[in-house]
Structure 1
Amino acid sequence: MERAVGLRERKKEATRQAVHEAALRLTVEHGFDQLTVEAVADAAGISRRTFSNYFAGKEDALLHGEEQQTRELVRAVRERPAEEAAWTALRAAMTQFAERVAPPEREWAVRTRLAMRHPSLLARQLANHAALERDLAEAVAARPSLSPEPVRPLVLAAAFLSSLRIAMRLWIEEDLAREPIEVIDEILDEMGRGFA
């Protein structure tokens, strides 16, 4: 039974990934304004109805990869040793996360540039970031090494995510000249002066 559930979940995730990749490819080829759910479904080899079982709209399909990565990052923070200071745990989780996933390249840069230009994508991305900030704050608040001040986890999570956004924007503006983790470390060093 467990094996069947595992296989079913892998198939579902493979379908989600295929739809995401089709949405990204069509957006790059034709632009986000020309993208339709029907075209994405056709390109992914599924029906319009099946698309709706996986995603609420084209924005969700396009941003699926980012959502997966945010879940991985939160999991990495939760898995850090309890005795680590919160900022240290956030940084170490980012390093661990960067080692486990492929570095952001063209896909991430394309999606980010699209989000900067399209209000519906930007709104969806901001909602994703708000959820990530909340989840990271909860993960940080659960650390025994953190003092019980209720606002500190919120500030740490917001500062950490702001650092990542600044680093990724800088990385894109530098036209991908350095490895993303180099830029992230530089910004986290600067931001961390107040949290270390």
Structure 2
Amino acid sequence: MADPTKTPSTPAPPKRASLRERTRAAMRAEVSDVAFRLFAEQGFENTTVEQIAAAAGLSRTTFFRYFGTKEEVVLGRVGEYGRQVADALAARPADESPWYALRRAFDVITEAGPGRPGSPADMVRLLSQACVLMTRHWEKTQGWHSMIAPEVARRLGESAGPVTDMRANALTAAAISCLDAATDAWIATGGTASLSDLADQAMGCLHETGHTPE
């Protein structure tokens, strides 16, 4: 029994990033935007680290304080989108099925067209230009899995355990694969098709066969 003489402890507020961390994040974002502008103008392969650094007003050495490689500029944005998908999934209505909630969470990617440096559409185009990026993009999107699967497990509404985790992992992997299939088809059309419609079709294939939970 709780001691009535003791005042319930108040949860500690979330730790705020230090000024140094916020400054570093802001600089990374600025350099990333500059890089994506150059990628769009010149292509990924034709853009050098020296050009990115000069356009951002940095030395080559300073560039490497924020990004280990040119590829990391792109892949860092991929990781950001993974976090956005996870946040969007957690914000979906509780009564939605896991599969539908996953599809709608992907809207942060499928409905965000070109218009700003590093948009999902521009990022997909870049990935299609460089094989090394495609390989590392696949590795990066697998990192999305660990961000998304716990929320899928929660939405399954079952007691925690190996079976629930298995189902959540299977659904998450299937959804990410459907998004990959949709982006591959989108690239094949030269970006003329609707990525959102293609994602609907890809995820709808599994839904229609009854292989996803209602």
Task: Report the TM-score when normalising by structure 2.
Answer: 0.72
| Alignment correspondent of 1:41 | 53
Cα 1:34–1:180, aligned 2, differ >3 Å: closer, same or farther? closer
Q: Paired residue for 1:165? A: 180
Structure 1 runs not aligned, ≥5 long: none
Change (3 A) 1:39 1:143: same
Aligned ranges 1:10-21 → 2 under 5 Å: 12-21=24-33
Unpaired runs of 5+ residues, structure 2, are 1-15
Aligned length: 191
Deviations, residues 61-94 of structure 1 (Å, cap 9, x unaligned) = 1233332222100111122344433212212323
Is it true that 1:175 corresponds to 2:190 in the alignment? yes
The counterpart of 2:167, out of the listed 152, 158, 170, is: 152
Change (3 A) 1:52 1:146: farther
Name the structure 1 match of 2:36.
24
Per the alignment, residue 13 of structure 2 pairs with none
Q: Over alpha carbons, which structure has the higher Rg?
A: 2
- 1:66 matched to 2:75? The reply is no
The DSSP-based 3-state class of the residue aligned with 1:143 is: helix
**Identical amino acids, percent of aligned pairs:** 32
Q: What is the TM-score with the length of structure 1 in the denominator?
A: 0.77
**Aligned Cα RMSD in Å?**
3.1
In structure 1, give the amino acid aligned to 2:89: V
Going by fraction, where is helix more abundant, 1 or 2? 1
